[in-house]
Amino acid sequence: MLRTRPPDMLAPDLQPADTAAGILQQVFGYSKFRGEQERIIEHVSSGGDALVLMPTGGGKSLCYQVPAVLRHRRERGVSVVVSPLIALMHDQVGALEELGVHAAFLNSTLSMEEAQRIEREMMSGRLVLLYAAPERVTTPRFLAQLDSLQERELLSLFAIDEAHCVSQWGHDFREDYLGLSVLHERYPEVPRIALTATADAITRADIVQRLALGDARIFVSSFDRPNIRYRIVEKDEPRRQLRRFVQEEHHGDAGIVYCQSRKKVDETAAWLLQEGVTALPYHAGLDSDVRRRHQDRFLREDGVVMVATIAFGMGIDKPDVRFVAHLDLPKNIEGYYQETGRAGRDGLAADAWMVYGLADVVNQRRMIDESPAAEDFKRRQRGKLDALLALAESHDCRRVRLLSYFDEASEPCGNCDNCLQAPATWDATEAARMALSCVYRFHQDRGRRFGAGHLIDVLRGKATDKVAQFGHQRLSTFGVGAAVSETRWRGVLRQLIAMGHLRTEGEFNTFELTPSSRKVLRGDLTLLLRESDASPKRGDGTRRTRGAKVAKPERPTLRAVPAGLDVNAQQRFAALKAWRAEVARAHNLPAFVVFHDATLTEMARLRPATLDELAQISGVGVKKLEAYGEEILRVLGGEGE
Ligand code: ADP
Ligand code: ZN
């Protein structure tokens, strides 16, 4: 999975320093563009506008950073990067300075003197990239400065990051983004590049319209993230399941655990801590200082697990997040994909893992029903939730479904739960009919409605107080489903709701039939349901293999040590990591800004003996070679073999 050259390959020809390929090689230390990067960079560098849709981790930053350096080398000039993520600007700028690219940010965390110093840098044309929040970019003062730059032909490029923030449909909407169309009106000849990982058609149309990108070329990359393994499991005892997942599969790894509520975030973080996992909470209810501190630790320390609401994550470009776990169902596939996309940006193996159950389905539906939004908006939200539920219930390749949601065709991937082990299914047509007819019988008695607990008791023929109170032991459906386990019943109900054949109502989530219930009752629909995987039945033959048969790839157990390193190389890797930690601390930057794990791994594996050999490793550019080369060789030489 490493994106590096094989060791025996000769050095590629040195590219001229004023070309995109030369900058990629010398400044960033990478040998090849990824996917659409090259075409995008060429288009923008030659003055075109672009809208870039690329998945999280796809490599969007280079799409404006390379043109910025290129244009600066050719005719000086500043590129302005609009970003909503004030908290991350410091590290983004630090990463560029590490590469030898002169960059700075302007935001509210700076003192007046600091801000003025940076403004002078910008006005002189020495600065290559300036990061600023949208509310700053649209102030009269800043626009006047841009005017002056423009008059002196020192305004190179506008990059609008997280461009979906301009759309009211997404959960990241920012009023200030609406004002950004001024850039086009005022500086029509300065190229603009807008970037986002949100790809659905409505958002895309919104971005084009509101940012006046009608003439921009749209670049849509593949949304596949092949190194991420998708797994969705039935919620049984979520904490125990999470503990097992984290401890057995991700011991010592950095990861994110998403929960729906602040309370659950706090509780889960506290509990994980008790279990010996370095976990920190993050949500909008925490003090901004606490939030910043936790985010810093997550970025800077190894192996921190962030337990968070969706308030956390946008712009987090920590490359070595090894897993993203969902303890609650997200609202839609866009959200799920964006959140899971934060795993494995470095291209190494990573997990997207989710538990979900009946209550999740019921809650998400209820939240939409009870929201004060317009009916039209709710209908859209319901449609989006349905697509996510279909993904969760599916027995075929998760990735094929995810990608097809983004209009991308693909083949079974071999790297999701369903591909790796086809889930057993069982014919639930009869059970579904029993459940629906029982709901119908309840209703016949003075329009009464009941929730899942009682319904399952009646179906299984349990003599509870409630059964006696309503005389339900006399119903024809009493005890008809005694042979079906409670877990299975929950699965049936969940999937009936997911598919819209049953719905819940009111405070107590009582059941109601829907127009499509009748099809099930009449037996017109065959329901093949996923066997519950909460209690796996290994080797008893219930699992059937369907679709593509794929061998299970080898999987390293302890991810804190990269796969494929022999003992000596592991020692070198550990020594390099210790050295990197020192440098990072001295520079007040996250370790990955100094070098990625993937780069250290290659150094440890190949053990270059000269600066020339070291320069061949992906992620080692000219500036870093100059700054750290000798030290790295010393560290590598120091480990005996
Ligand atoms: P995005 O902003 O799209 O989420 P990033 O720009 O943060 O993604 O890039 C993701 C990771 O991929 C980063 O660590 C980046 O350094 C790396 N990367 C991007 N382009 C290349 C490339 N051409 N070769 C090697 N690594 C790359
Ligand atoms: Zn698959």
Q: Which ligand is nearest to the CA of 400?
A: 2
C-beta of 59 in contact with ligand 1 (< 6 A): yes
Residues of the chain above pLDDT 70, percent: 92
Residue 353: beta bridge partners? 231, 325
Residue 308: beta bridge partners? 258, 282
Helix/strand/coil for 356: strand
- Per-residue pLDDT tens over the stretch 609-634: 999 999 999 999 999 999 999 999 99
- Per-residue pLDDT tens over the stretch 123-155: 999 999 999 999 999 999 999 999 999 999 999
CA of 626 to the centre of ligand 1 (A): 22
How far does CA 28 lie from the centroid of its chain?
24
Take atom 24 of ligand 1 and give the residue whose Cα is closest: 30
Residue 351 has pLDDT above 90, yes or no: yes
Mutation probe of ligand 1 site: the residue of 34, 219, 597 with most atoms within 8 A of C-beta: 34
Average pLDDT across the chain, whole number: 88
Q: Could you tell me if 105 and 93 are in contact, meaning their C-beta atoms sit under 8 angstroms apart?
A: yes
C-beta of 56 in contact with ligand 1 (< 6 A): yes
- Per-residue pLDDT tens over the stretch 434-474: 999 999 999 998 889 999 999 999 999 999 999 999 999 99
| One-letter identity of residue 224 | D
Q: How far is CA 583 from CA 25, 560, 595, 632, in A?
A: 23, 20, 10, 11
Take atom 5 of ligand 1 and give the residue whose Cα is closest: 59
Residue 99 has pLDDT above 90, yes or no: yes
User: 246: Cβ–Cβ under 8 A, 6 or more apart, which residues?
Assistant: 255, 272, 277, 305, 323, 325
> Which ligand 1 atom is the nearest neighbour of the CA of 37?
23
> Which ligand 1 atom is the nearest neighbour of the CA of 60?
3
> Which ligand 1 atom is the nearest neighbour of the CA of 33?
23
Take atom 19 of ligand 1 and give the residue whose Cα is closest: 59
The C-alpha angle with vertex 276 and arms to 270 and 277, in degrees rounded to 5, equals 70
- Per-residue pLDDT tens over the stretch 389-402: 989 988 899 999 99
C-beta of 34 in contact with ligand 1 (< 6 A): yes
pTM of the model as a whole: 0.81
Mutation probe of ligand 1 site: the residue of 39, 62, 63 with most atoms within 8 A of C-beta: 62
Query: Length of the chain in residues, anyone?
Result: 641
CA of 33 to the centre of ligand 1 (A): 10
- Using alpha carbons, select from 536, 544, 529, 548 the residue that is nearest to residue 393: 529
Mutation probe of ligand 1 site: the residue of 219, 345, 596, 617 with most atoms within 8 A of C-beta: 345
Comparing 59-63, 141-145, 255-259, 420-424, which segment has the lowest mean pLDDT?
A: 420-424
The C-alpha angle with vertex 55 and arms to 160 and 1, in degrees rounded to 5, equals 130
CA of 35 to the centre of ligand 1 (A): 11
C-beta of 347 in contact with ligand 1 (< 6 A): no
How far does CA 294 lie from the centroid of its chain?
19
Residue 547 has pLDDT above 80, yes or no: no
Mutation probe of ligand 1 site: the residue of 26, 30, 592 with most atoms within 8 A of C-beta: 30
What is the per-residue DSSP string for 512-528?
Answer: EE-TTHHHHHTT-S--E
CA of 198 to the centre of ligand 2 (A): 22
Q: Which ligand is nearest to the CA of 401?
A: 2
C-beta of 58 in contact with ligand 1 (< 6 A): yes
Q: Compute the CA torsion angle 307, 312, 318, 324 (nearest 10 deg).
A: 50
- Residue 91 CA to residue 85 CA, distance in Å, equals 11
CA of 34 to the centre of ligand 1 (A): 8
C-beta of 21 in contact with ligand 1 (< 6 A): no
- Per-residue pLDDT tens over the stretch 288-338: 999 999 999 999 888 999 999 998 988 788 989 999 999 999 988 988 998
Q: Helix 358-370 and helix 375-393: axis angle, to 10°?
A: 170
- Quick one: pLDDT at residue 11? 46
- Residue 615 CA to residue 6 CA, distance in Å, equals 14
The C-alpha angle with vertex 492 and arms to 526 and 451, in degrees rounded to 5, equals 135
**What are the φ and ψ backbone dihedral angles of 185, each rounded to 5 degrees?**
-65, -40
Residue 606 has pLDDT above 90, yes or no: yes
Rg over CA atoms, the chain: 27
CA of 68 to the centre of ligand 1 (A): 16
- Per-residue pLDDT tens over the stretch 11-32: 455 678 789 999 999 999 999 9
- Per-residue pLDDT tens over the stretch 464-519: 999 999 999 999 999 999 999 998 898 899 888 888 899 888 778 889 999 999 99
- Residue 360 CA to residue 259 CA, distance in Å, equals 11
- Per-residue pLDDT tens over the stretch 105-127: 998 889 999 999 999 999 999 99
pLDDT band at 81 (very low <50, low <70, confident <90, very high): very high
Between residues 8 and 270, the one the model is more confident about: 270
C-beta of 5 in contact with ligand 1 (< 6 A): no
CA of 280 to the centre of ligand 1 (A): 26
- Quick one: pLDDT at residue 10? 40
> Which ligand 1 atom is the nearest neighbour of the CA of 596?
14
User: 339: Cβ–Cβ under 8 A, 6 or more apart, which residues?
Assistant: 256, 258, 310, 313, 324, 326, 330
- What mean pLDDT do residues 197-222 have? 89
CA of 23 to the centre of ligand 1 (A): 15
Q: How far is CA 196 from CA 55, 78, 175, 586, in A?
A: 8, 22, 17, 33
C-beta of 503 in contact with ligand 1 (< 6 A): no
- 228-234 and 279-282: which strand pairing? unpaired
- Quick one: pLDDT at residue 3? 43
Residue 533 has pLDDT above 70, yes or no: no
Residue 537 has pLDDT above 50, yes or no: no
CA of 260 to the centre of ligand 1 (A): 29
- Quick one: pLDDT at residue 468? 94
Residues whose CB is under 5 A from ligand 2 (ion)?
397, 399, 413, 416, 419
- Quick one: pLDDT at residue 561? 57
